Amino acid sequence: MRNSLLSLLLLLGACMGGRMHVDEWTDIAVTQPVDVWTQGKHWRLYGVTVLLDSITGIPTDVTLDCDSCRVGFPRSQIDSVVTRQPSELVKGIVAQSAALLYLYGYFFVGPFVYALAAIPE
């Protein structure tokens, strides 16, 4: 029972990242990674420029100043474009940590306190 609750909590925490779809008006920092899915392939880019007809960026496995490494995709071939907002990521980590502390108290500290209260005087 204990392991199943912990597993459920960790799976739910994985969904708390604050993903946001990217469009022309999304404010994206130069070093902020953006996930692009196109034709069944995943690209993680930074230095992203979003235009009405295309998206360009530099893959995260090369340095940011490698401008010849920039790749581009027409919007008609893109399946999905998302990024994580740093503030939402922090909120997710805090919420998951609080839930872990609650479970720790419930399973480990709670029975000990209950056992101490049941001791006759």
Which residue shows structure tokens 């893959």?
59
Give me the residue spans of the domains in the chain.
1-17+85-121, 19-84
Per-residue pLDDT of 10-62, as tens digits, reads 555 555 556 777 777 777 888 889 999 999 999 999 999 988 899 999 999 99
pLDDT tens digits for range 87-97: 666 777 777 77
Fold designation for 19-84: SH3 type barrels. (2.30.30)
The four Cα atoms 84, 90, 91, 93 give a dihedral, to 10 degrees, of 110
Count, residues in the chain: 121
**Residues in CB range of 96: below 8 A, 6 or more apart:** 9, 10, 12, 13, 16
